[in-house]
Structure 1
Amino acid sequence: MNKEKPVVGFMAVGLEPYWGQFAGMREKCEHHHEIMKGKFAPELVQIEDAGIIDSEELARKAGENFAEKRVDIVFCQMLTYAASVYIAPVVRNLDVPVILLNVQYKKSLDYENVKGIGDWLGEGITCAGIPEATAVLKKLGRKYAIITGHMEGDQTVEKEMNLWCSAVRIKKILSTKNLGLFGRSYAGMMDLCVDETEIFKKFGTYIHHLDWQEIIQTGEEVEEERIVRRMEQMKDLFEVNDDISDEDLHYIAQTAEGCFELVERYSLSSCATHYEFDAPKEQRDLVAALNPAMTVLMTEGIAGAPEGDIKAALAMLILKETAGNAMTAELYSMDFNDDTCLIGHSGACDANISKEKAVLKMSGVLHGKKGKGYVAQFYPDPGPVTMLALTDGPDGNYRLVAAEGMGVKGPILELGDTNLRVKFPKPLRAFVNEWSIEGPTHHGVLAKGLHIKALRCIAAVLDIELKIITEETVE
């Protein structure tokens, strides 16, 4: 549901004196610039192309244009050697990451056919200006990174470009959308406490405090046709237990649609929910329906965290947008027989984490809360996984804590909670100690796939520390 596209300031640099010295070089460089422009994924970004910059005057104009267009990141293509005065004026007044594209046209020079200096300068000297550019960017205090490779079938180049584009997209979602807090954080879980102004200051995310009654009222106003469509979708997501009637399913779908209305009304990208009260019947019915209703929202892209955990909701948004799937992750239990950790959590879950449908059933007890409710246990597939948590320290600074591991087959808990056995590159005892000692709060997020490389980009873009517990990448 988060369709925001960051604006990419795209530029190339080359040395103006070369154009007069070597016939056809500028035309060749223009062709190379178009090739690189085509490597951006149009579904991810909007491109603001400044073309080839080969003078200080053009650099100043490009900087003014990028500032006016409010670009979220600058990609600078090194076409050949270029003086840093073609770069510095562009980014002097821009507080955005600068990615230097050290991408030469060919994988290797055709040495036998390099007959003159122009053949070399136009084909394989992109790296010559990189140290000068980084020296100046460092002095200017700009965040920068380098992508190195070649244009001919180098998939690594495109992957790394997409990582940076995705990272600034996540930053844009955080800074332009809000988080809906239904209820409040679980009383007594002091690790969940946040300074909402500090959240807004760091991420740009405003926290809307929303009332249970507003969900009820909004759901009651939803057109019947929408509720019926949502019921059909839920039958695709869940194996509905016999003890759940069509009337029950209708109410869950109505609740989900009410939540979607609030997502639109308050421009929400994430939610955190919690209740622990003896409520009137209509509110008891609502909170009972929350798990499957929030599962629908999470599956369609709205991050959701239990127990009012705002930091976990933000971490889920980050990992969900990166991996396309995510689930709440709490260290459940340790199995020293096979050195694995059982990881999971009760409540809503993103259905994209599992190929199997969840069994939707009524539970008479929701541990740690009052009343009954619907539970749905998904079954994540074995394979590589990434775990992430967002936390803050005594200095108030936020940081990410991450680890990669391997989901493995084996016995799990069949209590209605989504959970998975995970083996980490470190021994279990060491992993649990090192993860916990970072103070990551007790809710994390787990996603399929290895995503630490992407998280490095995200941490750089958000300007927060990333603590990696498992340096070794799992194959």
Structure 2
Amino acid sequence: MERIKQIKKARIGLYSVGLKAYWTQFEGLEQRLINYGKFIEKKLSQFGEVYNFGLVDDEIKGREAGEWLNSNNVDFVFCHSATYCTSSSVLPVHQICNSPLVILNLQPTASMNYEKTSTGEWLAHCGACPVPEFANALNRAGVDYKIINGLLGLEETPEISITDEVTVNRKEAIRAWREISEWAQAATVKRTLQNSRFGFLGNNYSGMLDMYSDFTMVQSQMGIHVEILEMCDLDKNLKSITEEEINAKMASVKEFFQISGDSPSDPIAKKPSEEQLKWSCKVAVAQEKMIKEYDLDALSYYYHGSNGNHYEDLQSGFIVGHSLLTAAGIPCAGEGDLKTAIAMKICDIVEKGGSFSEIVAVDYNEETIILGHDGPFHISISEGVPVLRGMGVYHGKKGSGVSVEAKVKEGEVTTLGITQTIDGKMKMIISEGKAIKAPILMIGNTQTHIKFKEHPDKYMDKWFVEAPTHHCAMSVGHNASLFEKIAYLLNLNKIIL
């Protein structure tokens, strides 16, 4: 589905380093290294906005680079170690510009031509030489850094070179550029969250102590503005909805969902009536209007009022519209779970899905943990077409309506939970596993069998000791390395199980 709001691409700082004394000694070396930097710039441009200062070759240029990078408000900086350079040139950059630093030690060739290589040729391939010096100086100055080692990944050899520099398909280049892309994606997450508005509609499910979130904590640690909404903010949009809008939304529902018959196992799970479907579509139109009115990037919600009131009817139509919004880049988390809405948003920004989940049960025969929920589902990561079922009662909640029955597509998955620790800090809990083909309950809930690396009991031993919330977001692919970088840029604690 087309995104309702576009993500904010990272602003990526870049500079290359060298030693000024070399340029008059070795003809062509300076421009050769500049060209390597331009190659990196071009590849980086697919991940975000790139601000390439160019070559830093003494401490004066280092100070200029720091000021220039600050003026462009970069989210983080790649330092391309192109050849030997004194650490006195690099350190001023990062004493002035406090954006996170990743050093790129990317050698242009897999192996030098030993019989023909001159000193000038060797210097084009000795980017690793100064990295220990950089690390020492940065560490002593209290500047944090990360390093990526590998090959540059050129697709053709420069004319000046006397060796084969085509390394694009080498595993060392593939691995390095995967790391680079993950840092860019992580920075995109940070920038998007810092420019995000999350709606908090209604309240938390009463008594779910793990769900309660301090809105100031969320803004101070993530940069997210939380807009507190009331049911009347949604309800007011119902009055202006036309039949044409309802019919258009019904067409979307029939495109993305399969309408179920009665469940063969659960008497409260029935074929949705036309009246239920039409009401869900009308509410879905109102939900989208509210999202656009308040310029929201995500939503957590829950309503629990007196029996038989209008708002109870309104919330009975939530799940279909919130699933459509989730697929359109506006993740929606039930029971007022703001922290899991953030986890879902992170997964969505990096285009890995992010479906609202909790433990359904353990299957000891399959050695899987079944994860799912009765709330919104991320349609884009569904195995097959999601099913809509009518629910005679939303278990544990007020009202009835239409719910989604689906499972995440088979293959690699990663769960991402965000919890809050005793010191008031948020923490990521990350787990990689595999979604397998196995039967699910026909009760109008999302459910997926996940096989983690360890037996369910051992995995739960490790999971529960981390004091998680009882919800998490499920993403497709193995994303632990990516989520770890996101945690680093957001300055969050993390654990990978």
1:369 to 1:449, Cα distance in 2 relative to 1, 3 A: same
Aligned counterpart, 1:473: none
Cα deviation, 1:69-104, whole Å, max 9, x if unaligned, reads 111010111110111222222221333211111111
Which deviates further from its counterpart, 277-286 or 415-424? 277-286
Aligned counterpart, 1:318: 346
Match of 2:90 among 59, 68, 87: 87
Match of 1:175 among 194, 201, 223: 194
SS in 2 for 1:338: coil
Aligned counterpart, 1:120: 122
Aligned counterpart, 1:446: 474
Match of 2:419 among 377, 388, 391: 391
Q: Measure how far apart 1:265 and its partner are.
A: 3.3
1:84 to 1:227, Cα distance in 2 relative to 1, 3 A: farther
Work out whether 1:267 is the aligned partner of 2:295: yes
Aligned counterpart, 1:135: 136
Aligned counterpart, 2:175: 156
Cα deviation, 1:378-422, whole Å, max 9, x if unaligned, reads 122221111111111111111111111111222222211111111
CA distance in 1, matches of 2:401, 2:306: 14
Structure 1, unmatched stretches of 5+, are 470-475
Q: 2:144 is matched by which residue type in structure 1?
A: K
Cα deviation, 1:23-62, whole Å, max 9, x if unaligned, reads 11111112111111121143x3111110111122222122
Q: How does 1:44-443 map to 2 (within 5 A)?
A: 44-114=47-117, 116-122=118-124, 124-151=125-152, 152-153=167-168, 154-221=173-240, 227-241=246-260, 244=272, 248-278=276-306, 282-443=310-471
CA distance in 2, matches of 1:104, 1:455: 27
Q: Measure how far apart 1:375 and its partner are.
A: 0.6
Q: 2:26 is matched by which residue type in structure 1?
A: F
Match of 2:495 among 448, 455, 467: 467
TM-score (norm: length of structure 2) = 0.89
> Could you tell me whether the CA contact under 8 Å between 2:353 and 2:378 is conserved in 1?
yes
Q: Percent identity of the aligned residues?
A: 29
Match of 1:26 among 21, 30, 48: 30
1:219 to 1:137, Cα distance in 2 relative to 1, 3 A: farther
> Could you tell me whether the CA contact under 8 Å between 1:322 and 1:451 is conserved in 2?
no
1:78 to 1:306, Cα distance in 2 relative to 1, 3 A: same
Q: How does 1:4-43 map to 2 (within 5 A)?
A: 4-42=8-46
> Could you tell me whether the CA contact under 8 Å between 1:39 and 1:158 is conserved in 2?
no
Q: 1:102 is matched by which residue type in structure 2?
A: N
CA distance in 1, matches of 2:244, 2:95: 54
> Could you tell me whether the CA contact under 8 Å between 1:180 and 1:271 is conserved in 2?
yes
1:240 to 1:28, Cα distance in 2 relative to 1, 3 A: same
CA distance in 1, matches of 2:307, 2:68: 56
CA distance in 2, matches of 1:246, 1:192: 34
CA distance in 2, matches of 1:459, 1:383: 24
CA distance in 2, matches of 1:421, 1:281: 37
Structure 2, unmatched stretches of 5+, are 153-166, 262-270
CA distance in 1, matches of 2:358, 2:182: 27
SS in 1 for 2:221: helix
What's the Cα RMSD here?
1.9
CA distance in 1, matches of 2:240, 2:358: 36
Aligned counterpart, 1:472: none
Q: Measure how far apart 1:248 and its partner are.
A: 4.7
Cα deviation, 1:143-199, whole Å, max 9, x if unaligned, reads 321111112212222211110011011111221112111111111111111221111
Which deviates further from its counterpart, 103-112 or 275-284? 275-284
CA distance in 2, matches of 1:41, 1:250: 45
SS in 1 for 2:304: coil
Aligned counterpart, 2:157: none
> Could you tell me whether the CA contact under 8 Å between 1:218 and 1:261 is conserved in 2?
yes
Cα deviation, 1:351-375, whole Å, max 9, x if unaligned, reads 0121411221321110010110111
> Could you tell me whether the CA contact under 8 Å between 1:324 and 1:352 is conserved in 2?
no
Cα deviation, 1:306-335, whole Å, max 9, x if unaligned, reads 100111111111223235212112122122
